[in-house]
Amino acid sequence: MSAADGATAIAGRGVVTAFGDSVPELFEALCAGRTALAPLRSFDRKRFGLQHAYEIDDRPAGPDTPLRATDWLCRAVELAAADAGLRDLSSVPVIIGTGLRELRTVEVARRDGTQVRDADLYFGSALRRRFGATRTYTVANACAASLYACGLGMDLLASGEADTVVVAGTDSITESMLGLLDRVQPGRPSAVRPFDRDRKGVLLGEGAAAVVLRRGGPAPAVLRSVALGCDAQHVTAPDPEGILRTIQEAQTRAELSPEEIDLVMAHGTGTLLNDEAEATALSKAFAGCSPAVTAIKAATGHTSGTSGLLALNVAVEALRTGRVPPTPGVHALIPEAAGLDVVCGRERPGPLRIAQVDAFGFGGLNAVALVEGTA
């Protein structure tokens, strides 16, 4: 169906994940309750207490491969552009959200002496070669980066600077981030278990995602609003009130009430403080109503700055099909989430019109998007 004139249509979608390189493949895996969790493949397990991750298994045997995040980015953009019938990106802005950029390539180059040109560490170089894209922007706003990129994309459309924008995200697991998580988390998780009483922390995932945004035209969904905030209350401890303000701003911008929202794609990292803060904010935001809540990091791991856009792709598919994927690994909810309708065990069918997508990053970098299905 067509979005109304002036509405931000989500005209094309593309993902690259451990489950495959299509949104339907990813969505069916999520609905089946599958996860990409596996023993660490890319790193020397003897060096880490963490022994599992949610990796894309595309490395050849032997030394690691550089520029994987760039390759995934280009594939996701190509898929989204094809889905939207977009053939020429030479004048189309491309905005990339990422947490770690090509840090893994730098690690590989320093360790193995692999030769990589400095220019290749910038996503714009590959996008220019592959698609002729000349207007590229990279946003590195931690775990909220790709939803921040969506907000910037909406601004470009609203200002009239562009009729079409490609928004993308990409991240690969790096040894330095894995080592950081290994040392700062109070527990050694064997899986990501959002909102569960026995959760022990986060594990990393990998992937890329992209959407094509347009002013009006045929689309399975429209982006009603993106609200961006930075409460800066603490480097690593999320502030429930900052999250709540961003949720409420997104609803105000979209001219929607909490009762009109059917589904929340939670940030849901499985960490002690994030889950408590997000659940507290959601409980306040949706007091008196109960949208379905799910968290795909239980299946994909934490894909860093890409996670918000990956969840947005899943949200559109949920609205299109009327199906909510479950959150694997949740057995007993934390007290802060006791009033939330967290979907566990198996997928849930039902009419869905509006979905909220959460993405929160270090330093109180909060982003919330509201999406409406057009079917």
What is the CATH superfamily name and number for domain 2-373?
Thiolase/Chalcone synthase (3.40.47.10)
* Residues classed as catalytic: 143, 267, 302
The Cβ-side half-sphere exposure at 119, using a 13 Å CA radius, reads: 5
Q: What is the pLDDT of residue 126?
A: 97
- Read off the pLDDT of residues 1-41 as tens digits, 9 standing for 90 and up: 556 666 899 999 999 999 999 999 999 999 999 999 999 98
279 neighbors 243 (Cβ within 8 angstroms): no
Q: What is the mean pLDDT of residues 333-362?
A: 96
Q: Among 78, 91, 84, which residue's Cα sits nearest to residue 136? A: 91
What is the number of other CB atoms lying within 10 angstroms of the CB of residue 197? 13
Domain positions in the chain: 2-373
Q: What is the mean pLDDT of residues 213-227?
A: 95
Coil, helix or strand at residue 347: coil
Radius of gyration of the chain (CA): 19
Q: In angstroms, rounded to a whole number, what is the distance separating the alpha carbons of residues 368 and 162? A: 23
Q: What is the pLDDT of residue 287?
A: 96
At residue 360 the predicted structure's pLDDT band, cuts being 50, 70 and 90, is very high
Q: What is the pLDDT of residue 371?
A: 98
Q: What is the pLDDT of residue 363?
A: 86
What is the number of other CB atoms lying within 10 angstroms of the CB of residue 189? 20
Q: Among 302, 311, 312, which residue's Cα sits nearest to residue 274? A: 302
Coarse DSSP helix, strand, coil percentages of the chain, rounded to the nearest 5 percent: 35, 25, 40
- Read off the pLDDT of residues 70-119 as tens digits, 9 standing for 90 and up: 999 999 999 999 999 999 999 999 999 999 999 999 998 888 877 888 89
Q: What is the pLDDT of residue 116?
A: 86
The C-alpha angle 349, 311, 99, rounded to 5 degrees, equals: 165
